[in-house]
Chain A
Amino acid sequence: MTNAVEVSGLTREYIMGGQPLQVLRGVDLSIEHGEIVCVMGPSGSGKSTLLNIVGGLDRPTAGAVVVEGEDLAVMDDERLAVYRRRQVGFVFQSFNLIPTMTARRNVELPLLFAGASAAERGERAAAALESVGLGARIDHRPTELSGGEQQRVAIARAVVGEPAIMLADEPTGNLDTTTGGEILALIREMNAAGRTFLITTHDRAVAESVADRIVHIVDGAIERIEQGGTS
């Protein structure tokens, strides 16, 4: 059986002032279905870059990324957008909700671009918001919600399209410990229902509370992989 994510020889270079800057240098990583993998490392080590490449928001300089058997390298921009729509759910540190839209509209957005009918969208968005415990806040705008609630909306938006993998970049980075803990509990709950997660953090406690495996990255290369404390 194939893995959810298969990363091999992944390199990402930026050209800075004429000089190549190696942000990722030959990363190999596979993520199984139903697994939570946390990427840990100091600031600037390339965690977000790895996540963005797996999510199809960024492209590798070299190496292969295969998600659910699909090779991202051969996709043009249009196909990559379809890939993000079908296979990926993003959760960001700063929530990234559209401020003028209600929670429901925000959650519906991926389905809207996928061409789902209004009825189907409404139903699925309501169900997703229900599943993150926001059934009562469905018509609230982001400014009317707390940080934790906004992140729940973002998680609902990520999960509503039933993606193969959830990518969370410092999902608790903007939240206090208690609220962050609630978000992590939600992630565990979804994982228990079968969702696969790739999460970045530089907080060891976060990683230990959810991860099946913790991948330590230093300077764009995997230093070691540690089996997590859960499961």
Chain B
Amino acid sequence: MRFRDLAYLVVSNLARMKLRLVLTSLGVVIGTSAIVLMLSLGIGLQRNITAELGQIGAATHINVMGGVFGPGMNEPKPLDDRAIREMESLEHVDAVMPAVSVTNIGDVSYKRYTTFLMVQGVPMEPFQRLGYEIEAGRLPRNDKEILLGAAVPASFAAGFGPQGAVGGSPTPDLIGKRLDVTFFEYPSDTADPMAMPTESTRRLTVVGLLAPSDMQTDQSAFVTLEAALEFNGVTQRRATYESVIVKVDLPASVADVEKVLTDQGYYTFSARSIQQSLNATFLIVQAVLGALGAIAMLVAALGIANTMTMSIYERTREIGIMKAVGASNRQIKRVFLGEAAIIGVLGGSGGLLFSISGAALANLFVASMIEAQTSGAGGGATQSSFFHIPPSLALFAIAFAAGVGLLSGVLPAMRAANLDPLTALRHE
């Protein structure tokens, strides 16, 4: 029997039972959809999350905050120089860098450009050991010098900030240039909440530009720790830092070190732990989809087996006729296996179509959620598709559904093939 003729027999047999065909493949549609969505979620996350997390920070960095206030919480553990020395002595820790953000900073302007900057005071020696690379210039040495993140010159040009009226200007070369930085000082000895702050301006020289790294770093500027403390009006002796960055030797050490720090009462976060908790969340979603898919596929397989058994019973006499005119057991088996496989393929294609449109809708929904949450916050770099269906997954889905159909058809097809021709011919 030629393949074309086998296909003809299979298709014309299936064409006779359209309704039953549709109902039976519906199970496969559901099963395939659940499985494809599960896998596409996994693929989509792998593709995107890692890229997105790169913006939070490097894979070997842990951000440590002082302890968390709140009912049932411990007293916040102060992040001071002693705490930093303790952290530095921990296993796997390469460097610890405290950071003091300059809180009372206002506009930063250069000529007609104005922008708004997050300015961090950091000790320069651990700053280097954390792995930040300088693209041009050098590190600040005194409280008159400032180092800019990779995206800052462009933010001048884009005209961020309240007076951002010069958008679209060419990115200025700022190395060696002086920036005017506005500081506010709130009178500390008055009880009047409405008291107006006094403004002062300092000139800082841009001495260096960082190479692009994570998003937060790219949009920050850095001064020496002493400068930041001075800007904030704090003396170093009593300093507690609001956060420090701990660099560990390997990404694999992050979890261990983070655990030690949390046990000591610090609040920590890292790209790695966020990734892990995200993965855990999505793993649950995937597990639910996977279980749903497995159950649906199993039910679908039983449905196919049932439909095949019924249609073989109804066509018993026909099988007898085919055997009488020379069909071999193997040929009969192929016809029914073919029918079962086609039911699988139809269901698989339906499921694939369904999951492609489902994934597109879900991606659209997630994108609009993210947009709603981040609207106005600038950034807007989120172009994530959580569900991703590559061609290989589509092919796999169809093949898998065909395989499920084929497998479900094995027993009924064997029964059909092994029917005694005379018994089959006598069947009415």
Residues of A within 8 A of B (CB): 52, 55, 57-58, 77-78, 81-82, 84-86, 88, 90, 92, 96-98, 100-101, 109-110, 112-115, 117-118, 157, 161
Known: A52-B422, A57-B422, A113-B1. A96 touches B326 (CB 8 A): no
The answer to whether B328 and A78 touch across the interface, beta carbons within 8 angstroms, is yes
Among residues 319 to 333 in chain B, which have CB atoms less than 8 Å away from a CB atom of chain A?
Answer: 320-331
B189 within 8 A of A: no
The answer to whether A77 and B328 touch across the interface, beta carbons within 8 angstroms, is yes
What 7 A-B pairs are tightest by C-beta distance, nearest first? Answer: A85-B326, A81-B328, A110-B325, A113-B327, A84-B326, A113-B326, A57-B421
22 A-B pairs within 8 Å (CB atoms) are namely A55-B324, A58-B422, A77-B328, A77-B329, A78-B329, A81-B329, A82-B326, A84-B324, A85-B325, A88-B326, A90-B324, A92-B324, A96-B317, A96-B425, A97-B321, A100-B16, A110-B325, A112-B1, A112-B9, A113-B327, A115-B2, A157-B325
B263 within 8 A of A: no
Q: How far is the CB of A58 from chain B (nearest CB, A)?
A: 6
Known: A57-B421, A98-B318. A81 touches B5 (CB 8 A): no
B12 within 8 A of A: yes
- Chain A contacts of B320 at CB under 8 A? 96
Q: How far is the CB of B414 from chain A (nearest CB, A)?
A: 13
The answer to whether A81 and B1 touch across the interface, beta carbons within 8 angstroms, is no
The answer to whether B325 and A115 touch across the interface, beta carbons within 8 angstroms, is no
- Chain B contacts of A118 at CB under 8 A? 4-5
Cα of A113 to Cα of B1 in the assembled complex, Å: 5
Cα of A118 to Cα of B2 in the assembled complex, Å: 9
Cα of A77 to Cα of B329 in the assembled complex, Å: 7
Cα of A90 to Cα of B327 in the assembled complex, Å: 13
The answer to whether A81 and B326 touch across the interface, beta carbons within 8 angstroms, is yes
- Count how many chain B residues have C-beta atoms less than 8 Å from C-beta atoms of the other chain: 24
Cα of A43 to Cα of B143 in the assembled complex, Å: 119
Q: How far is the CB of B369 from chain A (nearest CB, A)?
A: 53
Known: A100-B16, A113-B1. A84 touches B422 (CB 8 A): no
Name the residue in B1, B2, B326 with the highest tally of chain A Cβ atoms < 10 Å from its Cβ: B326
Cα of A80 to Cα of B406 in the assembled complex, Å: 27
The answer to whether A109 and B330 touch across the interface, beta carbons within 8 angstroms, is no
Q: How far is the CB of A188 from chain B (nearest CB, A)?
A: 24
Known: A57-B421, A57-B422, A96-B324. A117 touches B2 (CB 8 A): yes
Name the residue in B12, B318, B321 with the highest tally of chain A Cβ atoms < 10 Å from its Cβ: B321
Nearest A residue to B326, CB-CB = A85
The answer to whether B1 and A115 touch across the interface, beta carbons within 8 angstroms, is yes
- Chain B contacts of A98 at CB under 8 A? 318, 321-322
Q: How far is the CB of A57 from chain B (nearest CB, A)?
A: 5
Nearest A residue to B323, CB-CB = A81
Cα of A194 to Cα of B331 in the assembled complex, Å: 31
Cα of A152 to Cα of B131 in the assembled complex, Å: 91
- Chain A contacts of B325 at CB under 8 A? 84-85, 90, 109-110, 113, 157
Q: How far is the CB of B3 from chain A (nearest CB, A)?
A: 10
A-B contact sample (10 more), CB < 8 A, given A57-B324, A112-B9: A57-B425, A92-B324, A96-B324, A98-B321, A98-B322, A101-B12, A113-B322, A113-B325, A113-B331, A114-B326
Known: A92-B425, A115-B2. A78 touches B330 (CB 8 A): yes
Q: How far is the CB of B345 from chain A (nearest CB, A)?
A: 22
Among residues 70 to 104 in chain B, which have CB atoms less than 8 Å away from a CB atom of chain A?
Answer: none
Q: How far is the CB of B420 from chain A (nearest CB, A)?
A: 9
Q: How far is the CB of A76 from chain B (nearest CB, A)?
A: 10
The proximity string for B residues 291-321 relative to A, scoring 1 for CB distances below 8 Å and 0 otherwise, is 0000000000000000000000000011011
- Chain A contacts of B324 at CB under 8 A? 55, 57, 84, 90, 92, 96
- Chain A contacts of B330 at CB under 8 A? 78
Nearest A residue to B325, CB-CB = A110
